[in-house]
Amino acid sequence: MMREWLSVLACSAVGLALASPEGVCQSQTSPVSGTVKVDGSSTVFPITEAVAEEFRKTAPQIKVTVGISGTGGGFKRFTVGEIDVADASRPIRPAEHEKAVQNRIEYIELPVAFDGVSIVVHAKNTWIDSLTLDEIRRIFTDGSTVKRWNHVRPAWPDRPVRIYAPGTDSGTFDYFKEVVVGEKGAIRSDMSVSEDDNVLVRGVEGDENAIGFFGCAYYFENRNRLRAVPIDGGSGPVAPTHETIVDGSYAPFSRPLFIYVNRRSADRPDVRTFVEFYLSQAAELSEEVGYVRLPEQVYETARSVFAARKTGTHFLDDRGEKRHGRFVELYR
């Protein structure tokens, strides 16, 4: 009786091993193989997902797993060395940089695309023709008394304001907060919050009184259900389109998207191959998913930075404080 059970067990174990489609491989003579762990921003996720998918076609032996913990969540894991690549929709912050230094993690900062954070409303929302930065500030600051749309402009209807926003782990949230209320400010707390931008899209498209914000790729992907509000940053209302994001006129919400690579992981052949592939395909694939490609010279710079394994961030100075300036000037 016992013997039969044991043989059944052994057979099923063997069967399972053989049935598993990739089979059992003792990679003694196979080409580069390994696992690349990526996690972080859900804004950057569509690009990384596209790259991982295309990469699989060229190098099926290398497994790439992509998570969506949010930029903050990704950095938390990155700075303890748990993942090889962190997707980020904002540059690394001083506190995260400190943590990395403490854990002896060196990183290589690589931009991959441009994004324009789109402020969207329901497709049937006809009254919002544009929003000034000031109005945005009034709506979103913590303690805001704007509860109905006619609090913003008296001509607008008396309807409740419903907000859908990314969570605090989101780089989009950090970026938006910094632009709208500044580093020391705070955003109001009575919003529907989710790390998953898809959830936000869903929320806004189902509520005529809703307003939300997320990366422009999610807007372009759902253009028939949503309306992006033109933003008046001081020189007239500008809607987020490919052109306005590229030339920077969609201000102040145009921003670069990054990946951060662990320097020690970069020395591994599997990670190195993946990142080189990423940088070579980022222009094309980022446009395909709805973002905007960077100028070619920036990609060149990124490739040389990676090849030379230059570590550190271009956005914090030696004292660990933020540098300000145009992206193209800072990253060189």
Partner 1 sequence: MTRHAIHVGAALVPRRRSRARTRVVEGLIVVVLAGCGFFSILVTFAIIGVLLEEARAFFTMPGVSVGEFFLTTTWSPMLGAEKHFGVWPLVLGTGLVTMVSAMVSLPLGLITAVFLSEYAHPALRAAFKPALELLAGIPTVVYGFFALTVITPFLQRIDPSVENYNAASAGLAIGFMCLPIVCSLSEDALQAVPRGLREGAYALGGTRFDVALKVVVPASLSGITAAYLLAIARAIGETMIVALAAGSLAHLTLDPRQPAQTMTGYIVQIFLGDAEALGVEYRSSYAVAALLFILTFVITILGNRVMHRYREVYE
Partner 2 sequence: MSGSNGRSRSPRLRRWRDRAFLILCASIAGVSMFVLAWLIGEMVSQGVAHLDRDFLTSYPSRRAASAGFKSALWGSVWLVCVCAAVALPLGVAAAVFLEEFAPQRRTWRAMHSFAGLNISNLAGVPSIVYGIIGLTVFVRMFGLFGSPNLSMYDQWERVRLQDGTHAAGRLVEQSDQSLVLEHPRDGVRSIVSAAITSRDSIHIRRHKLELSSGRRLAGPHIGRTSEGLLELDTDDRERVVIDPAEVVSYEYSRVLTIGHPDSFFYFRLPLGGSVLAGGLTLMLVILPIIIIACREALRAVPSSLREGSLALGATRWQSVRRMVLPAAIPGIMTGCILAVSRAIGEAAPLLVVGGLLVVFAVPQNLMDDFSAMPLQIFNWAGRPQEDFHRLAASGILVLLMVLVAFNMLAIVIRQWFHKPLT
Contact residues toward partner 1 (CB under 8 A) are 68-70, 72-73, 76-77, 80, 82, 142-143, 162, 165, 167-169, 186-196, 199, 202-203, 205-207
The amino acid that residue 216 corresponds to is C
Stretch that binds partner 2, among 134-142, 179-187, 199-207, 235-243 (CB under 8 A): 199-207
Shortest Å distance, C-beta 313 to partner 2 = 20
Residue 3 parent element (H or E): helix 2-19
User: Are the C-beta atoms of residues 65 and 38 closer than 8 Å to each other?
Assistant: yes
| Nearest Cα to Cα of residue 108 among 305, 317, 318, 271 | 305
Binding mask 159-198 for partner 2 (x = CB under 8 A): -------------------------------------x-x
| Nearest Cα to Cα of residue 64 among 40, 39, 89 | 39
Round to whole Å and give the CA distance between 131 and 232: 6
Pairing mode of beta strands 162-165, 131-132: unpaired
Residue placing its CB nearer to partner 2 in the complex, 34 or 298: 34
Round to whole Å and give the CA distance between 123 and 16: 51
| Nearest Cα to Cα of residue 219 among 232, 234, 201 | 201
Examine residue 6 and tell whether it contacts partner 2 (CB under 8 A). no
Shortest Å distance, C-beta 128 to partner 2 = 21
28 binds, among partner 1, partner 2, none (CB under 5 to 8 A by kind): partner 2
Distances in Å between the Cα of 280 and the Cα atoms of 53, 272, 306 are 14, 12, 12
Tokens linked to 4? 């039969």
Burial environment of residue 26 by CB neighbours within 10 A (0 to 12, 13 to 18, 19 or more): exposed
Rg (CA), the chain: 23
Shortest Å distance, C-beta 116 to partner 2 = 19
90 secondary structure, DSSP code? S
Site for partner 2 in 256-275 (CB under 8 A): 262, 264-265, 267-269
Residue placing its CB nearer to partner 1 in the complex, 149 or 331: 149
User: Are the C-beta atoms of residues 110 and 266 closer than 8 Å to each other?
Assistant: no
Examine residue 287 and tell whether it contacts partner 2 (CB under 8 A). no
Stretch that binds partner 2, among 12-20, 140-148, 227-235, 246-254 (CB under 8 A): 12-20
17 binds, among partner 1, partner 2, none (CB under 5 to 8 A by kind): partner 2
Residue placing its CB nearer to partner 2 in the complex, 14 or 95: 14
Examine residue 205 and tell whether it contacts partner 2 (CB under 8 A). yes
Examine residue 130 and tell whether it contacts partner 2 (CB under 8 A). no
The contact set with partner 2 (CB under 8 A) reads 16-17, 20-22, 24-35, 37, 46, 49-50, 52-53, 56, 63-69, 77, 80-84, 103-104, 196, 198-199, 201-202, 205, 221-222, 225, 262, 264-265, 267-269, 289
